[in-house]
Structure formats: C-alpha cells, structure tokens
Structure 1
C-alpha cells in the first residue's frame, strides 16, 4: 500500500480521465473525488466489479486496486470468483484483455516482424532487448517458431532504461532500412551502423511494457494477452498456443 500511496501523491497533478462509461453516479463521484491524504488520485478508469458495492480503480500509473462506493476502504490484490469449476482470477482476466487490446493497437510498421513463408497460424509479441542473453537464446528459436507457423513480433524494452546501451541498439534497429536484419545482427553481437535520431517507437514501447507489467526480457505476450516472462523453448511455446508440431 505504501508503494501505491507514493504513486498516488506523485501523480496528484495528473489530469483525471472520465471514460464514457462513467455515467454511473458512483463511478463519476469516485473519479472526481477519490483522494489519499488530501491528494486527488490520478484516476484513469473506474469500473464496477461482480463484488457488490466494490469498484476497480485503474490509475494513470498502471496500478489498480478496489474501493468501496464511498472511497473509504481499499483492497489491494487480485479479485477471484469462486466458480463452479474452481477459482477464477478476475483481475488477471481483465489485465489480459487490456494487454491484448493495447498490443493489437500497435501498427505493423512499429514492430520488427519475423514470419515464415506460409500464412501464420498464431502470432506472439515479444518485448526484447538486444543485449539480453535470454533474448538472444529465444531469437535462435525464431526460425523454428516460424516453421511451426508462429509469427514473432518484437517490441522494444531496453531493460537498463533509455540511457542504456540496449536502448541505443534498439533505436539503431528501428532506424535501420532493414530492421529484422538489424535485429538479428545485434543479437549475434554484430556491429550496427546508422543513427538513433529517426522517429522511432523505442521509448514509447518501453513505457508501454512497464504499463503492461513487463519487468524483464524477454517478455512474451500471447494472443489472449497472457504475459509469459523469460525464455520459452519453441515446442513449449507452441503448446501454450495450442499448436501441434506438424
């Protein structure tokens, strides 16, 4: 809770976003008046939950928690449904849905795409850093994944931040005339030529990754929005996608 409180105070001057669905008077009141220690919260969105009288609050910082209708009590953690087939993590479901939508909105010309010659059967998105050993190991699996019908789309996530060597290399990749070739060269520890001053999405993708819960690389996002951290062998990734090796 201390971490959330710090984020709330730090973002106190962030403009509040009132979504179209906030016609519910409770949601509208919470959006306008939710406070911590007298400071307005940087609210991005508030939605009702299946738990009567409680609402999910999403902050501009990317964090989320639950509040009662008066904003007097907060719950930090995941909300589960005790369903007939077992516990269902409703918080995770909502995060996956949002993550999938945010990823789907990224145009192809802002991705570094590796696809086989045939029509892909599935597509995964990978937040990557050219200096990351396990990213390089995963990249070695890309031809195998393409042969299985899995397209691999890379997004940038310089794990050392925007002042790191990885950030510079990723900018060079996106500024290259042939980004896929430059990506492979960088992951073989080859020298890249070209500048970093073109209009590139590296910094925006880095911040997007943090908003979506990426904490390290590689971070694989499946089509349904599930986030899989770390290196995954091709056969296991194909199994996650429900594909058989044919």
Structure 2
C-alpha cells in the first residue's frame, strides 16, 4: 500500500454549534467519542480488502477522523476513516500550521527500522566517537534542508558531547550532481568535503567506485526513506525533515 496521493484535510466535525444544533448534553459537550464509535468488527468490515488485518483504532488528531492501523506485508499502515464511516483516506494528511505530514509521522512511529541493518563503515562521524547517544542521518550534499540541518547538528554536538551523528550519503535523483559528490565524499571519508559542498565550494571528482553509496540508495528504499534529511534515532524511529538543535535535543532526551 503506497501512500502517494496527497490530501489536505480541513475538518471541523463534531462542533458544538452545528447547523442543526445539539443540546448541552449532545455532541460537543464532551469528547467526540460520546457520539461516535468505530469498533474492531466495524473496521474489519469496512477495510477488509485493504490489508491482512486491523490493529489499533484511535481518534485521529484531525477532528472527525479515526486513525486505523492496517497490517500488510509485515508493516503497519495508518489510514483514516471519517466519523460517518463513508470515506477513507489512504494518502498524506498535512497539518497546515507547521506543514507536518501527519500520515508519515504516524507510519514512522509504528514501523521502527532495525538499525542493525544499516552498515556504518562509510558513515561520517560528527561528534565524539565515545558519545553515548548516536543518531544516524541520511543526507544529500546538494539538499538545502540538509545544509540547514547540518548546521543544527553542529550546534548539538557543541552543546552536548554525549550526542554524535553518523552521516550516510544518500543522493537524491532530483540533485544531478549529488551522486558523484557523494561518491567522492565517501571515498575520502571526509566530513570537511561534505561541509564544503554545503558551503557551495567545489567538490573534486575522485577516481573511485564507492559502492557504499549505491548500497545506501538501495537500503533507503527498503527502509521507506525517500527524502533528505532523515534522522534515525537509536530506537529505530525515523524523523524526516529539518529540526532545530533545541528540538533535536528535546527529542533525544525524550521530551514531548
């Protein structure tokens, strides 16, 4: 089940002042669960053809929607069912306030990766080798958001010597020069060369194969990583996109 189509859901369901009105004890006086239910049997009946099983059911952060876990091929896919039980959303739900992809966040929370599958011999170390907490980062040397995140990673290691980052080069096809740059950086195993690329300085093309880059591209597809930057936390949870140093530290310290 691939989540390719994008939907922006603007829902204002279960409000206290709907046109037909509810009394003080009606829907809107408390939780939407007071008026709406979706049990396991109903979910199986509605979504039986969409996967191999149904997991948890919970009220989504989007008003008027249930988040239902659909199990397929060893993965858990979050889908959304509206309270009328007539509509299904299998694509991306975006939160407009901060442009966060609610669907992807729910997917990554439910499908941590096995970090033991990720080879790290080619990874660039940012921070101390003996740091207690190590975070894997998939980055692209021509990605503007990777450049922004890298600056924040430097702030993190300056403030917290117990945190380090293992950087894997993952060139995206949309950046045509990222692939040869990644090969050269991996061949040299040079963090400085990566930072030169982020600074807009030339990166020399080196006569080496660096098959690790191709392996990273293949592995990223298997792990469901399709964008950069993407951080992989020590517990295997993926966190794509840019974050400030403060937010990264809060995330690693387990703060909400």
Range into which the TM-score falls when normalised by the shorter chain? 0.5 to 0.7
Residue-by-residue CA offset, 1:154-174 (whole Å, 9 max, x unaligned)? 11221226x821111111100
Indicate the residue corresponding to 2:14 in structure 1: none
Distance 1:90 1:188 in 2: 34
| CA shift in 2, pair 1:133/1:92, >3 Å | closer
The residue aligned with 1:202 is: 213
Secondary structure of the residue aligned to 2:147 is: helix
- Once residues 158 and 114 of structure 1 are traced to their aligned partners in structure 2, the CA distance between those partners, rounded to angstroms, is 19
Is 1:188 the counterpart of 2:204? The answer is no
In the alignment, is residue 232 of structure 1 matched against residue 227 of structure 2?
no
Distance 2:2 2:203 in 1: 43
TM-score (normalizing by structure 1): 0.57
Deviations 1:121-160 (A, max 9, x none): 3111111101011101111123222121221111122122
Structure 2 Cα separation of the partners of residues 190 and 173 of structure 1: 13
* Separation in 1, partners of 2:251, 2:141: 25
Q: What is the CA–CA distance in structure 2 between the aligned matches of 1:121 and 1:95, rounded to whole Å?
A: 24
Aligned positions of 1:79-228 closer than 5 A: 95-96=111-112, 99=113, 101=114, 103-116=115-128, 119-147=130-158, 148=160, 149-160=162-173, 164-176=176-188, 178-195=189-206, 197-228=208-239
Query: Unaligned regions of 5+ residues in structure 1, if any?
Result: 5-46, 66-75, 78-88
Partner secondary structure for residue 121 of structure 2: helix
Runs of 4+ aligned residues of structure 1 deviating over 6 Å after TM superposition are 47-51
Q: Distance in 2 between matches of 1:181 and 1:50?
A: 46
Q: Secondary structure at the match of 1:110?
A: coil
Q: Which runs of 5+ in 2 are unaligned?
A: 5-51, 57-69, 78-88, 91-104
Structure 2 vs 1, CA of residues 193 and 150 (structure 1 numbering), >3 Å: closer, same or farther? Answer: same
Tell me which protein shows more helix as a share of its residues.
Answer: 1
- Root-mean-square deviation (CA), in Å? 3.8
> 1:19-78: per-residue Cα shift (whole Å, max 9, x none)?
xxxxxxxxxxxxxxxxxxxxxxxxxxxx99879xxx95438xxx777xxxxxxxxxx97x
Q: Is the 8 A contact 2:169 2:216 kept in 1?
A: yes
Give aligned pairs, total: 174
